[in-house]
Amino acid sequence: MKILSVNAGSSSLKFTAYEMPEESVLMSGVFERIGIGESFYTIKFNGEKTKVEVELTNHKQAFEILIKELLSHKVVNSLDEIKGIGHRVVQGGTYFDKTVVVNDDVIAKIDELCSLAPLHNPAAITGIKAAQEVVPGAVQTVVFDTAFHQTMPKENYLYALPYDWCDKYKIRRYGAHGTSHKYVSMRMNELLGRTDTKLITCHIGNGASISAVKDGICLNTSMGLTPNAGLIMGTRCGDIDATILTYLMDKENMSPKELDTILNKQSGLLGISGVSSDSRDIEESIAAGNERSSLAQTMYVKRIVDYIAKYYVELGGCDAIVFTAGVGENSKMTRLEVMERLAVLGVKADKEANDCRGVEKVITTSDSAIPCYIIPTDEEVMIARDTYELAK
């Protein structure tokens, strides 16, 4: 069965075409700068990448080109072969704890939650509607980043704010990256050969979150009402004293929108280093002797360790720590510094094993009290799996 996994951004559209249930990748690609000029798309087929510059005014046009590429490369011979299209949606609120088939009510609820994910949910709706127009015969599904975290107990998802704010304003911890945390925790259980596990999964990228997963169920996660909670990230500050916000609004006469821009786009690694939001640039700057970059890296690693230590206690121990996503899979410096700071828990890094990028492997010594693993995430295949089950 041919299944498409789709991730629509405000000006982008990523996709992967699968043959299911074999999970073999038939084609993948990304359309960029949709509706903002100088647009293009990149297709990966049979190990070769092709870049095409084309004016893309909207997501429907991108979908139409996507289908043409599938047909011209003989991935499918007709639209009828595409049985399901799964869409990534960031915010599902309390409405969705699993993947569902798209209908008018589902779209209305996604739209209702746009205020909690203003950059992501509207784009997802655009992608869904474009897919419905271009491939009307396919089963359309939505896979929510927040769904995996819906198992958190009330004491972990509520904030110590007036109790009725949760019902009245939907203010609570939702988390994000749930599809990734679910994938790597499932894969970790496969490697351990059991499901009765206590795992700490670290999705460390430009956006980053850590989850405590017990017996395959999410117990806690670092992101909150929005993705700007928990860890220090590329441009996001993560956890801060909430009164800083009202203090700054008073001192600098800032509007909420101006302050939000600073907290989400000018803070984190970028704000401390003054160099970049990209971990690779930070590491190069440290090598060149930049003290602020070194400080940014130290703070970045410390916050990761803080959450791992917190979840170690909450879980009552840990069977494995997993590193995934862009930084987690590729930054040997960050992984090593995290593991060295966890020596008090008996973690023993294997420096030789850690000297790698983007591969699945254990990176601690055989006598480490807690094994640490790199597991490359695969959110697309999780979307495909759920969509396949519903399309059957």
Catalytic, out of 145, 350, 378, 386: 145
Evaluate the omega torsion of the peptide bond into residue 21 and state whether it is cis, within 30 degrees of 0.
Answer: yes
Q: Give SS3 for 270.
A: helix
CA 11 to chain centre: 18
Contact (Cβ atoms closer than 8 angstroms) between residue 63 and residue 136: no
CA–CA separation, 223 and 208 (whole Å): 8
Alpha helix locations (H) across 12-58?
A: none
Is the torsion defined by CA of 265, 270, 275, 280 positive or negative?
negative
Compute the C-alpha angle 294/299/301, nearest 5°: 95
E strands in the chain: 2-8, 13-19, 24-32, 40-45, 48-53, 82-89, 100-101, 139-144, 198-204, 208-214, 217-221, 320-324, 361-362, 372-374
β pairing state of 82-89 and 48-53: unpaired
Q: Give SS3 for 70.
A: helix
Q: Scanning the structure block, which residue is given the tokens 């960029």? A: 32
Q: Give SS3 for 291.
A: helix
- The verdict on whether 145 is a catalytic residue reads yes
CA–CA separation, 30 and 44 (whole Å): 9
β pairing state of 100-101 and 139-144: antiparallel
Structure tokens at 368: 């480490």
CA–CA separation, 317 and 309 (whole Å): 10
CA distances for 379 relative to 88, 97, 203, angstroms: 9, 16, 12
CA–CA separation, 238 and 252 (whole Å): 21
**Which residues participate in catalysis according to the annotation?**
145
